[in-house]
Chains A and B, each alone.
Chain A
Amino acid sequence: MMIRKVITRRDFLKSASIAPLAGAFIPALKGGQTDPGQKVRVVLVRDPYALDAAGTPRAETIQRMLDEAVCELLGERDPASAWKKLIRPDDVVGIKTNTWGKLPTTTQVEQAIRRRVLDAGVSEDKVSIDDRGILRNPVFQNATALINARPARTHHWAGMGSCIKNYITFVPKPSDYHGDTCADLASIWTLPHVKGRTRLNILVMLKPLFHGIGPSHFSKEYTWEYMGLIVSRDPVAADATGLRVLQARRREYFKEDRPLQPTPHHIFLADTRHHLGVSGEDRIELVKLGWKEGVLV
């Protein structure tokens, strides 16, 4: 059992104002694997035409957005060179998607990733896209590389449906990780069949959910066309950036500071307790590409 000090509301009152308590209080506590002073790169790419009038992603636009983001992230001019930095031809690649019916990763994003993995020289039989079946999927069982892609949304128990949380299906009994409102989701990333395999994280922000209601925690009323993708090698940094966007949208919509409930502390604890990545804004180099209107961060 992990022994640690109790952290109370008063601890936060001592170190900061109360306002960030329910949303972004832990980033002030430093952590993460990155050297102090070194920033983690996160790329946010947006295009006002990413979705068509029916709300369906435009495949060509999505491919271009992903390519631009990955090139920027890795400092390469063309997608082929960039993806070769991520994937070797002999890799076995699991593309971890999210199939939640109300807000899935989308086929267009999945296929854009798959295309570039194949372009990197991986044979078709060594690439698989899966979510709830990954523990029985031979490609995922033998994966040497994982690409993690999921939509951003608020979540009734974890606070936010995040890149970190997307790996919950790597465990046979997800409820084992629900304690303290999913505080230790990042520990999944240290399991032997997961650890060190993730090459890229894509937080899909095409039409995120910024507020949830009811048992299914969904209403179209609380989604908006943000038309973005957040791409990073660091899942914590990607999530922390996505969270800032969701919180900004909540302030804009509700016209008051209404922090996420419950606090998505699994993102910050992934940094401070599990050292999976960095969550502090001051540790993240956010590069913004494309459409600027309504960018919120």
Chain B
Amino acid sequence: MTAQIRPAAGRMASFIPKAVGSWLAEADHVYDAETIFQYIDGAGEVYRSYNMKLLVSRRFHKDGRPDIVVDLFDMGSSADAYGVFTHDLDGENAGIGQESTYKAGLLSFWKDRYFGSVYSEEETKESKDAVVELGRRIAAAIPKEGPKPKLLAYLPAEGLDAGGVRYFHNYSILNFHFFVADKDILLLEQTASAVLATYASAGKKSYLLVVGYPDEAKAARAFESFSKNYMPDAKKSGIVRTEDKRWTASAKAGNIVIVVFNAGSDQFAMNQLASVQELIEAAGKK
């Protein structure tokens, strides 16, 4: 059961071609944040966690060939379109939209407030060409680009794995990429925005988490909650050597909480915190 096509859905549908090669479009299906479960079951929670507004799904059929499915999401903002794109970064760059990946018959891309997925149910050379062509035409039809989340500006450039940056709003997605705790000890609560980035540190991955809260009071409560639950032994130092001989450090700057996980040394952890604080300060002066 799908929702009525609404004007916004009509506009999104206009971005999607009616045919690609000999593949012809079938009827559109439209879902919102409530009805998405009818389409993709529990996986709908991922899109809901990025505040999805609308999904237009269109299947393309060609006799004797695998079907191709376009799922075009209106995420409400370019930040969340970017965010849901970062949920799965596996694959090769397909050069479509503002960023894209292609793997095993699936093209994912984002542009402005839209996240697109074009998927061939079986990958052939012909279907791959059609998938990429569809993606290219959809992205071209979206009239403008959108900005990435502001929090990205607080990630130090040195050592950053640019292909491993994730943006999100809740602890389930955080745990998906880096398990912290089975409860929301950082009080993300879907109202905060966070970036998780990976850096090389002493031959291993170090993780930098930067969380922006709606206000300073909320950030203070979150910082206290994290300190109490995750690193009570750090006391006021803000840094602790964890059981695997790595280092975790945290700090608060205004409405932002910064955590470095898995650092190879205390020096690296403290330098990372200082670098982020400098970037925050510099941004505040602009």
Contact = CB atoms under 8 A, between A and B. Distances in A.
A261 B185 CA distance: 20
B40 A217 contact: yes
A181 B176 CA distance: 9
B233 to A, nearest CB: 9
Given A174-B42, A222-B104, A10 B242 contact: yes
B184 to A, nearest CB: 9
B138 to A, nearest CB: 15
Contacts of A21: 179
Contacts of A181: 45, 172, 175-176
Interface of B is mostly: mixed
Contact of B175 (A219, A220, A262): A262
B71 interface: yes
Interface stretch (B14-22, B115-123, B144-152, B215-223): B115-123
A89 to B, nearest CB: 36
Residue among B41, B177, B183 having the largest count of chain A Cβ atoms under 10 Å:
B41
Interface string B238-262: 0000111000000000000000010
Interface in A155-202: 155-158, 168, 174-175, 178, 180-183
A100 B43 CA distance: 13
A213 B104 contact: yes
Interface string B90-107: 100000000000011110
B122 A215 contact: no
A157 B179 contact: no
Interface stretch (A1-9, A57-65, A73-81, A242-250): A1-9
A9 B181 contact: yes
Interface string A191-228: 00000000000000000000001111101111000000
Given A213-B103, A215-B71, A216-B69, A9 B43 contact: no
B82 interface: no
B108 interface: yes
A18 interface: yes
Interface residues of A, number: 36
B47 interface: yes
Interface in A67-99: none
A183 B42 CA distance: 13
Give the size range of B's interface with the partner.
35 or more
Interface in B147-176: 172, 175-176
Contacts of A155: 42-43
Nearest to A181: B172
A9 B47 contact: no
A131 to B, nearest CB: 12
B42 A156 contact: yes
B127 to A, nearest CB: 12
B40 A216 contact: yes
A88 B106 CA distance: 48
B210 to A, nearest CB: 18
B88 interface: yes
Contacts of A13: 242-244
A9 B183 contact: no
A263 interface: yes
A189 B241 CA distance: 41
B229 interface: yes
26 contacts: A6-B183, A7-B182, A7-B183, A8-B185, A8-B230, A10-B230, A13-B244, A156-B43, A157-B42, A157-B45, A168-B42, A175-B42, A175-B44, A175-B45, A178-B42, A180-B172, A213-B88, A215-B43, A216-B69, A216-B119, A217-B43, A219-B119, A220-B122, A221-B104, A262-B175, A262-B176
Q: Which 9 A-B pairs have the closest CB atoms?
A: A156-B43, A13-B243, A157-B42, A221-B104, A8-B181, A214-B106, A7-B182, A219-B104, A6-B183
Interface of B: 37, 39-47, 69, 71, 88, 90, 103-106, 108, 117, 119, 121-123, 172, 175-177, 179-183, 185, 229-231, 242-244, 261
